[in-house]
Amino acid sequence: MTEPQIKQANLAVELRNLNKWYGDFHVLKNINLQVQKGERIVICGPSGSGKSTMIRCINRLEEHQQGEIIVNGIHLTEDLKKIENIRRNVGMVFQHFNLFPHLTVLENCVLAPIWVNKESRKDAEANAMKYLERVRIPEQAKKYPGQLSGGQQQRVAIARSLCMNPDVMLFDEPTSALDPEMIKEVLDVMIELAQEGMTMLCVTHEMGFAKTVANRVIFMDAGQIIEENNPHEFFDHPQHERTQLFLSQILQH
């Protein structure tokens, strides 16, 4: 049994028989997923299929009732220390950006590095400027989120997560709240990030993005993983009827 053990060490995220209920409603049914370090995974599916819920379980924004979640070798339990440990290493980008409106862009970026990772303000700010340059908005550092466009805000949100030097990045429909002409600037940043080898789990319907960067595409419906494959196979030869229907609907126009 040496092979699985070697594989184990390379796993960034592992979900084993994950089950979750909202009250009586069974949202996640026996999810099994292994994400290797450096792997880029795109998760798609109709609304209500549980895809957002699944990635929100990984950093415990949602609580699961059954099964195991292992992030970088840490078993996620109710233990607050472990939860904080995982959150420190897992960045998350939200659909509605969720920047802190009372803080400037720079303050948004340095808050967690200073108060969670205990970096000095000087180091944190230098690091933050580096990431703001990477998402191409260093000149907005002194502005407040309310003064920026949606695309700019989402790029700041990505920079804010990167400032924590995460091992894994979770994207929860990062472009669905954006105007069409702003989607590209955010996707470009995400593609660069993928090319640098970041482990990424993206819930998104941007199929072009999936084709460009994903190692694997996962299709979910009714709380289950219906199908997973490399993007080439996934788009050209979907195995499952439900997947075919879904793809025909979103690729129609």
Partner 1 sequence: MKYAIEAALPPPPNTVGVLGWMRRHLFNGPLNSVATLVIGFLAVYWLIPVVQWMLIDADWVGESREACTSGGACWVFISTRLDQFLYGFYPSGEYWRLNLSFIMLAILTAWLMLPNMPFKGWASFLTLVIYPIVTFYLLTGGAFDMPAVDTHLWGGFSLNLILAVIGIVAALPFGILLALGRRSEMPIVRSLSVVYIEIWRGVPLITVLFMASVMLPLFFPEDISFDKLLRAMIGIILFQSAYMAEVVRGGLQAIPKGQYEAADALGLSYWKKMIMIILPQALKMMIPGIVNTFIALFKDTSLVVIIGLFDLLAIVQAASNDPDWIGYATEGYIFIALMFWIFCFGMSRYSQHLERLLHTGHGGRN
| Interface residues toward partner 1, by CB under 8 A | 59-61, 84, 87-88, 90-92, 94, 96, 98-102, 111-112, 115-116, 144-147, 160-161, 164
- Which residue lies nearer to partner 1 by CB, 86 or 187? 86
Q: Cα dist. 145→10, 66, 111 in Å? A: 37, 38, 15
13 closest CA partner among 78, 57, 77: 57
Q: How far is the CB of 111 from partner 1 (least distance, A)?
A: 7
Rounded Cα distance, 199 and 184, in Å = 21
Rounded Cα distance, 17 and 165, in Å = 29
Amino acid occupying residue 2: T
Q: How far is the CB of 31 from partner 1 (least distance, A)?
A: 20
Cβ within 8 Å of residue 32, ≥6 positions away: 15, 16, 17, 18, 225
Q: How far is the CB of 115 from partner 1 (least distance, A)?
A: 5
- Which residue lies nearer to partner 1 by CB, 8 or 117? 117
Amino acid occupying residue 84: E
Rounded Cα distance, 131 and 143, in Å = 16
CB 250 within 8 A of CB 205: yes
Amino acid occupying residue 162: L
- Which residue lies nearer to partner 1 by CB, 51 or 60? 60
Cβ within 8 Å of residue 45, ≥6 positions away: 51, 219, 220, 221, 226, 246
- Which residue lies nearer to partner 1 by CB, 62 or 188? 62
- Which residue lies nearer to partner 1 by CB, 111 or 247? 111
Three-class SS state of 79: coil
Q: How far is the CB of 35 from partner 1 (least distance, A)?
A: 18
- Which residue lies nearer to partner 1 by CB, 22 or 100? 100
- Which residue lies nearer to partner 1 by CB, 40 or 56? 56
Q: How far is the CB of 190 from partner 1 (least distance, A)?
A: 17
Q: How far is the CB of 61 from partner 1 (least distance, A)?
A: 5
Q: How far is the CB of 143 from partner 1 (least distance, A)?
A: 9
Paired tokens of 52 = 């957002």
Amino acid occupying residue 167: D
